A and B are shown apart, each in its own frame.
Chain A
Amino acid sequence: MSVEWIKSHWTLLVPLLMGALALAWMMPRQGKPRPIAAGLMGLAAVGCAGFFLLKPGPEMVESALFFLFAGTAIVAAGLMITSHNPVYAALWFALVTLSVCGLFLLQSAPFLSAATIIVYAGAIIVTFVFVIMLARQSGAAFYDQSSEQPTWATFASFLLLGGMLVCLGDWRGQSGSDGGMGGGMLKVPAVWQDRELNPNPLSTLPDTEAGVKAAGTMRGLGRSLFGDYLFAVEIAGTLLMVATIGSVAIAPRRAQGGL
């Protein structure tokens, strides 16, 4: 039975195994540079996964952009977590953020894309200052040259990833031959078009052509945020203020002129 299962899932297992091997191999270890072969193997794993697992959508340009952004995001993520130098890791994280913002744009969320770039640009610049201030004071740090239990951590992580991908694959198998919701939207339940019964009436797009076209506009998102989620927005503002006060309280005070 297990042999049968492996035979039917080899397109999933091969890229997973290659990716896990490449990442475990690339993890920083004592005094060794990152091997180039492991990087090539990781690239091959990403290519395999893209070829076997991802199905191009109905539109050429969108699919091309999706593959570009997704590939960049995953490769940059791999390089970030295996980087020996925290400054480079922060730069790779910036690339991951930009790619994810591109994917947001493709999913018609322009406001979120811009907001993510603004928030993370500030966060990354602050992180940069921190890295340069703290980590670079005494040259290359030994704790950046080594990692904690790289083999077992990679094993556990890819076990989780494999489980999620198998579940997703089974779900696609159940939900029809066009890849679940590929090519179109999920049908909005008819009961949700009834404004009395819908718990979030302002967040639902009307089931008309114009309503579908309006997806992702700032007007719609604003109506949703300040209509259905007004209370949550207020709470989020309070949370931001509490976090600001908390950070000021936690951050240590220095003597005048100290770093």
Chain B
Amino acid sequence: MTGVLHNYLIVGSVLFVMGMLGFLTRRNLILMMLSAEMMLHGVSLNLVAFSRAHGNYQGQAFTAFILTVAACEAGLSLALILALYRRRGTLDVTAWTDLGEAPAELPTIPEHDAPHIEQEFPRLKPTGHLPEVPEEETAARV
């Protein structure tokens, strides 16, 4: 009739902890917001499982309210992220470690944090010779 409640509680707690880990470690503001939403998923799963196990609608009603609050939170946080991005031009959360203090110079990125990306582009092999273009076509080819 119903799944084992215990299983759902375990999955909910794992999702919650994963969201917490993402919130603690990621530096991108948008990813931090998504991690917070994932924590809410874990809690919702917990509530729905208990609602089923107890045979009432209280958990489901509570989850509907969680959805409402999550929607509000997403809208507000995206507006905040946009406002923060306009100020400093970065989504990095460590750019905002000086909130509440006297305005100092903008934080500088430490040397070892600089992007370290090595790219190799494919090279075309020279084969054959240039085709000869008729005189009347050169004007059409820009």
Q: Is the CB of B26 within 8 A of A147?
A: yes
* Contact (Cβ within 8 A) B6 A168: yes
Contact A112 B80, beta carbon cutoff 8 Å: no
Distance in Å: Cβ of A252 to nearest Cβ of chain B: 5
Q: Is A239 an interface residue (CB 8 A)?
A: yes
Chain B residue, CB-CB nearest to A159: B17
Q: Tell me, in angstroms, the Cα distance from A55 to B5 when the chains sit together.
A: 10
Residue interface bits A184-212, CB-to-B below 8 A is 1, else 0:
11101000000000001011110100001
Q: A131-B30, A135-B28 are in contact. Are A186 and B60 (CB under 8 A)?
A: no
Q: Given A86-B31, A153-B24, A57–B4 Cβ distance below 8 Å?
A: yes
Residue pair B82, A251 in contact (C-beta under 8 Å): yes
Total A-B contacts with CB atoms under 8 angstroms apart: 304
Assuming A80-B22, A142-B113, A229-B61, is B76 touching A250 (CB within 8 A)?
A: yes
CB distance from B3 to the nearest CB of A (A): 5
Query: A86 to B27, alpha carbons, bound, how many Å?
Result: 11
Q: Which of B65, B70, B80 has the most CB of A within 10 A?
A: B65
Choice from B4, B21, B67 contacting A119 with Cβ under 8 Å: B67
Q: Is the CB of B78 within 8 A of A130?
A: yes
Contact A77 to B18, CB < 8 A, known contacts A30-B112, A141-B91, A150-B25: yes
**Which residues of chain B come closer than 8 Å to A224, judged between CB atoms?**
56-58, 60-61
Contact with B along A6-37 (1 / 0, CB 8 A): 00000000000000000100010011000000
Among the listed B37, B56, B69, B83, which residue makes an inter-chain contact with A203, where contact means beta carbons less than 8 Å apart? B56
Contact assessment for B28 and A109 in the assembled complex, using a CB-CB cutoff below 8 Å: no
Contacts of B68 in A (CB 8 A): 236, 239-240
Which of A103, A156, A229 has the largest number of chain B CB atoms within 10 A? A103
In contact, B57 and A142 (Cβ under 8 angstroms): no
How many angstroms from the CA of A134 to the CA of B54 in the assembled complex? 45
Whether the Cβ atoms of A205 and B56 lie closer than 8 Å is yes
Chain B residues, CB < 8 A from A55: 4, 6-7
Mostly, the A contact residues are helix
Is A182's beta carbon under 8 Å from chain B? Answer: yes
CA distance A209 to B41 in the complex (A): 31
Interface positions, chain A 126-172, Cβ under 8 Å from B, are 126-127, 130-131, 134-135, 139-150, 153-154, 156-158, 160-161, 164-165, 168, 172
A116 touches B67 (CB 8 A): yes
Q: In the docked arrangement, what's the CA distance between A104 and B112, Å?
A: 45
- Alpha-carbon gap, A251 to B79, bound state (A): 5
> A112 near B25 (CB under 8 angstroms)?
no
A96 touches B13 (CB 8 A): no
B20-44 residues at the A interface, CB under 8 angstroms = 20-22, 24-28, 30-31, 33-35, 37-38, 41, 44
Known contacts being A93-B37, A142-B114, is A161 close to B3, with CB within 8 Å? no
Can you list 25 contacts pairing A with B, beta carbon distance less than 8 Å? A30-B113, A80-B22, A89-B34, A103-B11, A107-B3, A108-B52, A111-B60, A119-B71, A123-B37, A135-B30, A142-B113, A143-B113, A144-B27, A157-B17, A160-B17, A165-B13, A183-B2, A207-B55, A225-B64, A232-B61, A236-B65, A239-B72, A243-B72, A246-B79, A252-B83
Rank and list the top 9 A-B pairs by shortest CB-CB distance, nearest first. A81-B22, A243-B72, A31-B116, A224-B57, A153-B24, A182-B4, A143-B92, A247-B79, A251-B79
- Inter-chain pairs besides A142-B92, A224-B60, 19 sampled, C-beta below 8 Å: A23-B21, A31-B116, A74-B14, A77-B19, A90-B30, A103-B45, A108-B52, A109-B52, A109-B63, A119-B71, A123-B37, A131-B30, A142-B114, A183-B1, A220-B57, A221-B60, A224-B57, A236-B65, A240-B68
